[in-house]
Amino acid sequence: MGVDLEKLNPEQREGAAHLEGPLLVLAGAGTGKTRVITYRIARLIESGAAPDRILAVTFTNKAAGEMRRRIEELAPGKGALVWAYTFHSFCARVLRQHHEALGLPKTFTIYDQSDQKKLVGESMKELGLEDQKSKASLYVSLISRAKDDLLDAGSYEIHAMTSIDQSRQIAAKIYRVYQKKIDAAGALDFGDLLLKACQLLRDHAAVRQQWQEHFTHLLVDEYQDTNHAQYVLTKTLAARHKNVCVVGDDDQSIYSWRGANIRNILEFEKDFPNAKVVTLERNYRSTGRILDAAGLVIQHNKTRKPKKLWTQAAPGDEVRVQELPNESEEATWVVRRIQDEATAGRSFKESAVFYRTNAQSRSFEEALRRARIPYKIVGAMRFYERKEIKDALAYARVVVNRRDWVSLSRIVNCPPRGLGTKSLELAEAYALEHGLSFVDAVWAHGQIPGLSPKAHGAFDELTKTFESLRESVETLPAGGAMALILEASGYWRWIESELETDPEAAGRLANLQELLNAVKEYDDRQKLEGRQTSLSTYLEEIALQTDLDAYDETQPAVTLMTVHLAKGLEYPVVFLTGLEEGLFPIGGGNATADDLEEERRLCYVGITRARERLTMTYAATRRLFGQVYASLPSRFILEAKLFAGSRGDVRPSAVPGTAAVRASVAGFRNGQRVKHPQFGRGVVNEVSGSGETMKVTVRFDDGRVAKLLARYAPLEPA
């Protein structure tokens, strides 16, 4: 029995039946692209194509394995012969086969990110850059990105010379030394797999012709996520037969920050002028109303291929929009709705909560723990398990209990104090010899033989800091104590000093601020209940809350994740949270047009994960950097036409609209009294920018401060 294409809809069938020549399949969310891919490959095999001359490239090993399984079902005995790989695994296979051409040992090692970081650290030491050791992650990232752009060490050095970014110039020096070390070790990192494969095909004509001739058909999934190296590989391998099929959705291109180039899919027809284009628009996942919301949002993007998702399914429930007073109430409200779903018979695993940044998980984690609802975080650590949070709590625990040697060991040289491995080993040896704990040895550092004056000074400063903190926090509430600890320890300043050089520093700082928010909320909650609060009582509560024995992880659990990680997944019930200007989209009025388009694509991805019910939430106020700021609903809510009079629970006055824009035309001035329908009356403190980018900072009479985009802010003269 042949491959039955009648099981496909007309558009899917059109894509699966196109066997020769270039093909672009624009597959909207939930339109069944995997069926098209697998049926097309099975149909190729049925029509006489050799399965071992078909290359299908995916972005995960799991997806590659699943593709092989499905093809084997359709083409028994042959499907398993198809080359189904990730780009990196395919390149590794090619490089092992042709290792001699590049002077590589056949048994070359592939280094992971931790190996890279260690090697970068050694390179920095050789270059006398030990003072920048904390930036190793940044330089790993810059070197990896350079390789994805097909820049070897020499090329990147020339490239960096023209850059005003000093970190790129330093990275270029590190890259040269790093590459010598990795080459000497007979190893490749992930970036090398792509870079050296491209170099191999470029510089060795016989090898290039061999592979171009071998693969009669090439298929690339998730083409909108390809970087420059992957783009070059695709074009090179397809140059002989031109039988290249790329599948993807430009509306789901959300990884520019890691090198993905949306132009690869948008300009496919320029690379292959005679390409056939098939657009999949029939959605098999979501209700009509969910698709309507997604379509209304994404149509505001100018850089896209036109497409409109539709379904034969029922319209379904209204898409709900809910305003909450703050992020804590937002989390509590969402958890109550999850409980309602459970009461109605749904499993917890059918609900998912999405947010824009990892730091937002904290309030949802706490609300779920209070409700005794099991949850899991996809692709990220639990809030209280993140390094910077564990470091901060370790400081607090030593302040409260000096005998806590585990906590002291964690942060004794964090931030770096010049206490090297030798100094710590001498302290540990002294403790062992005299029957002391590590803590006691640190406090008695003056008695440790062999310690350098620098080490003595570092230990002395550390112990004095802890003694001073112990006295200071005794009379402070938990929030004040934690803030003082982060300041006096130098930990906050250390993270803050890395903002301009370490791409991860901003996230760590946001998490620390979330910790301070959590402690302040604890203080407020205890005060309302008439209880005294202290650092020790807070640490006890946290210890009890984070006890993972509270629930069985094998049981169905609510899923928490960033919107980025939700791509490719689906859930019956989705809560898309934190939809506020400046948070989602990040940057708000300060973002570039390209940034806003990517944020909009990210929102589209979030919306289209929902099968049956979608709820979008935002907080009227959010605690940021120790202050409570007023928030405005995201422009995406407006674009989706989700406001009173249409659907949802948002009050018209709370949504940026044309009336607000008209009201802002006249402009605002410092000292002017204004009123806001949601936040009340206040005074303009600052006006910056002009036209569409004008921002107005208002201090409201209740003490709240808000920085508002004038074109969206429903402000009027008071």
Mind listing the pLDDT tens digit for each residue in 145-194? 999 999 999 999 998 988 888 899 999 999 999 998 888 878 888 899 99
Looking at per-residue confidence, does 10 or 657 come out higher?
A: 10
Helix extents (H) in 434-562: 438-443, 453-473, 478-488, 491-497, 505-528, 535-545
Q: What is the mean pLDDT of residues 97-113?
A: 84
Sequence-ordered alpha helix ranges (H) in 204-227? 205-214
**Contact, 248 vs 225, CB < 8 A?**
yes
> Residue for token digits 């270029």?
172
Report residue 662's pLDDT band, with 50, 70 and 90 as the boundaries.
Answer: very low
pLDDT at 363: 93
β-pairing, 695-700 vs 680-688, is antiparallel
How far, in Å, CA of 218 to CA of 235, rounded? 10
Q: What angle do CA 134, 254, 238 make, to 5 degrees?
A: 105
Q: Sign of torsion, CA 257 259 265 269?
A: positive
Whether residue 625 has pLDDT greater than 70: no
Residue 365 has pLDDT above 90, yes or no: yes
- pLDDT tens-place string over residues 569-606: 999 999 999 999 889 998 766 778 999 999 999 999 99
679-701 average pLDDT score: 78
Look at 113-122, 192-201, 323-332, 597-606 and tell me which has the smallest mean pLDDT. 113-122
pLDDT at 657 over 70: no
pLDDT at 711: 60
Q: Which two tokens stand for residue 143?
A: 């070197």
pLDDT for 454: 87
CB atoms within 10 A of CB 162: 8
Percent residues over pLDDT 90 in the chain: 50
Average pLDDT rounded to a whole number, residues 246-264: 93
> How does pLDDT run across 59-104, given as a tens digit for each residue?
877 788 888 889 999 999 888 899 998 898 899 889 989 999 999 8
Find out whether 317 and 627 touch, Cβ atoms under 8 Å.
no
Cα separation values, 45 from 20, 37, 120, 217, Å: 13, 13, 47, 11
Please write the tens of the pLDDT for every residue from 603-619: 999 999 999 999 999 99
pLDDT at residue 661, rounded to an integer: 36
Q: Sorting pLDDT into bands at 50, 70 and 90, what band is 551?
A: very low
Say yes or no to pLDDT of 646 above 60: no
Q: Give the active site residues.
A: 33-34, 221-222, 252, 609
* Stretch among 61-65, 539-543, 678-682 having the lowest mean pLDDT: 539-543
Contact call for residues 632 and 322 (beta carbons, < 8 A): no
> Model pTM?
0.76
Q: Which range among 284-293, 420-429, 663-672 shows the weakest confidence by mean pLDDT? A: 663-672
Check residue 264 and give its pLDDT: 94
Paired tokens of 414? 């964090």
- Which of the four pLDDT bands, split at 50, 70 and 90, describes residue 660? very low
Q: What is the pLDDT of residue 333?
A: 97
Contact indicator for 534, 351 with CB cutoff of 8 Å: no
Q: Is the pLDDT of residue 1 over 80?
A: no
User: How many CB atoms sit inside 10 A of residue 182's CB?
Assistant: 21
Indicate the range of 11-20, 243-252, 315-324, 438-447 predicted with least confidence.
Answer: 438-447
Whether 417 shows a pLDDT value over 50: the answer reads yes
Q: Is the per-residue pLDDT at 642 higher than 70?
A: yes
- 3-state secondary structure labels for all residues of 627-673: EEEECCECHHHHHCCCCCCCCCCCCHHHCCCHHHHHHHCCCCCCCCE
Q: What percent of the chain has pLDDT over 70?
A: 90
CA distances for 319 relative to 282, 540, 608, angstroms: 20, 41, 12
- Is the confidence at residue 545, as pLDDT, over 70? no
Average pLDDT, the chain: 86
Give residue 669's pLDDT band: very low, low, confident or very high (50, 70, 90). Answer: confident
With vertex at residue 191, the alpha carbon angle to CA 82 and CA 154, rounded to the nearest 5 degrees, is 135
Of 154 and 627, the structure prediction assigns the larger pLDDT to 154
Q: 416-430, 458-472, 635-649, 684-698 — which one is most confidently predicted on average?
A: 458-472
Report d(CA 392, CA 389) in Å as an integer: 5
pLDDT of residue 475: 86
Which carries the bigger pLDDT value, residue 214 or residue 518?
A: 214
Which of 283-287, 405-409, 497-501, 636-640 comes out lowest in average pLDDT? 405-409
Q: What's the pLDDT at 591?
A: 79
The pLDDT of residue 536: 81
341 or 413, higher pLDDT: 341
